[in-house]
Structure 1
Amino acid sequence: MSLTATDRPLPPLAPRAWLRYDVVSRIIDRLAPTTALEIGCGQGAFGARLATRADYLGIEPDADSFAVAYERITCMGGKVLNAMSSELEPGATYDLVCAFEVLEHIEDDKGALAEWVTHVRPGGRLVLSVPAFQERFGPMDRHAGHFRRYSPAELTARLEEAGLVDIDITVYGWPLGYALEAVRNRIDARKLEKVGDLTPEELTRATGRTFQPSGRLKGAAIALATSPFMALQRLRPDTGTGLVAVATRRD
């Protein structure tokens, strides 16, 4: 007997991704989109989950990450393209457009948001996540190819400039995110000494493949260890290391 999408095991998530997904999944539950587009789906760990909840399309420009995402998402009923968002069909719109840990990799973030909004149907939503607070910018950000981090006020301003309304921003990651970030900063400081003078674009290509867990048992252990911190962060939705925003395109 063949497995249905709901029977198949979901890809494992890294600890920081679990903290992020705890916020995102509750937003998706509330919005209940029929169609969804994910820009920069990486290796498809979030996309596989979204594909069970909406008619899903993911796009990923990195060929290696796309190959993994394709295997993970298509078996869940979704679609994936090895492409840039600028290559999407003009005029195609979705109930939900999302981009997780993508905007900070783009130098022209205003231009990117303006393009993404064209794919949100009138009255639909844009959901995105970014690292929080520029004063926390460190080796992890430089090694990942980040141009910046955002405060809630700065991200709100960017979304308003893109014509979005009803903006709601959650800060997540307290308290575990601080420890995870400290470890990553130490590791990535050493990596930066080895990679030489690479551009943010060159560093970005590999970021979707970095620190991604593999194997069902390891994934289950990470989920179990992270679950208490997912509950804890809900107590402090204004404190942490990352932001999740949801905003509406004018009807």
Structure 2
Amino acid sequence: MEEDRRHWWFRGRLAVLLAVLRRALPPRRVRLLELGCGTGNVLGALGGLGEAVGMEAHPELVAAARAAGLDVRPGRLPDDLPVPDGWAEVVLLLDVLEHLDDDAAGLATARRALAPGGLLVVTVPAYRWLWSGHDVALGHRRRYTARALARRVRAEGFAVERVSYFNTLLFPAVAAVRAWKRLLGDRAHDLARPAEPLNRALARVFALERHLVPRLALPFGSSLLLLARR
């Protein structure tokens, strides 16, 4: 599904992610690779941090990203890699692992792409008990806990630096919506953009976490963020 970069969730996640990267990366331009980059909502912002390359499996999304002037190359995890082994100083898997039949193989490909000491950035949906029609509609295979995600990443040879839940401030509302959807048997996703005043308010609340997640491991939330080193 093509993301709507104006949707509050994408806007909030991007704000959190950029704050985390600015704190974690050295004060110079770096080589970044986003695997499963969609239309380039994040990739376009990564250009401010260095040379950013994306890989995307769906031809229509590749075309849209390239039309926006982004360096996006076709390929599908875990089989493809659009750069030489060891090229990237940062590899991002942003809400990608949950779509893969074999998440370990996807992580192994990401490790191949990273230079020694390079940074892996992963986001995934949290908590199996939040499973709903939203996950079915988006093609998810699983949701994760912090412990399970860290264990999976370590098993592929990474040194995990930190794990935090996020989308914490809005978590009660998200959990309530998912419970209601399960009760109704609703199998639609939650990514239809609400009316703009509400959309803008939700984006602002979510984006407040950019002040928290880079410094704190939040104890709960609807998503997880993990940083690890090769």
Count of residues in correspondence between the two structures: 215
Question: The residue matched to 1:127 in structure 2 has which SS?
Answer: strand
Q: Distance in 1 between matches of 2:53 and 2:63?
A: 15
Tell me the TM-score normalized by structure 2.
0.81
Tell me the amino acid that sits aligned with residue 16 of structure 2: V
Matched, 1:186 2:181: yes
Give the structure 2 partner of residue 12 of structure 1.
5
Q: Distance in 1 between matches of 2:18 and 2:200?
A: 15
C-alpha RMSD over aligned residues: 2.9
- Indicate how the Cα distance of structure 1 residues 87 and 229 shifts in structure 2: closer, same or farther if over 3 A, else same: closer
Match of 2:106 among 97, 101, 112: 112
CA contact (8 A) 1:16 1:180 kept: no
CA deviation string 1:115-154 (max 9, x = no partner): 1111111011000100001121121111111111110000
Matched, 1:240 2:221: yes
Q: For residue 229 of structure 1, report the CA deviation from its aligned partner.
A: 3.5
Q: Distance in 2 between matches of 1:13 and 1:246?
A: 26
Q: For residue 221 of structure 1, report the CA deviation from its aligned partner.
A: 7.8
- Indicate how the Cα distance of structure 1 residues 79 and 232 shifts in structure 2: closer, same or farther if over 3 A, else same: closer
Match of 1:91 among 85, 96, 115: 85
Can you give the 5+ residue segments of structure 1 that lack an aligned partner in the other structure?
Answer: 1-10, 193-206
Q: Distance in 2 between matches of 1:125 and 1:236?
A: 18
Tell me the TM-score normalized by structure 1.
0.74
- Indicate how the Cα distance of structure 1 residues 49 and 221 shifts in structure 2: closer, same or farther if over 3 A, else same: farther
The 5-angstrom pairing of residues 37-48 of structure 1 reads 37-48=33-44
Identity fraction in percent: 26
Question: The residue matched to 1:118 in structure 2 has which SS?
Answer: helix
Q: For residue 232 of structure 1, report the CA deviation from its aligned partner.
A: 5.7
- Indicate how the Cα distance of structure 1 residues 236 and 178 shifts in structure 2: closer, same or farther if over 3 A, else same: farther
Give the structure 2 partner of residue 123 of structure 1.
117
- Indicate how the Cα distance of structure 1 residues 87 and 212 shifts in structure 2: closer, same or farther if over 3 A, else same: farther
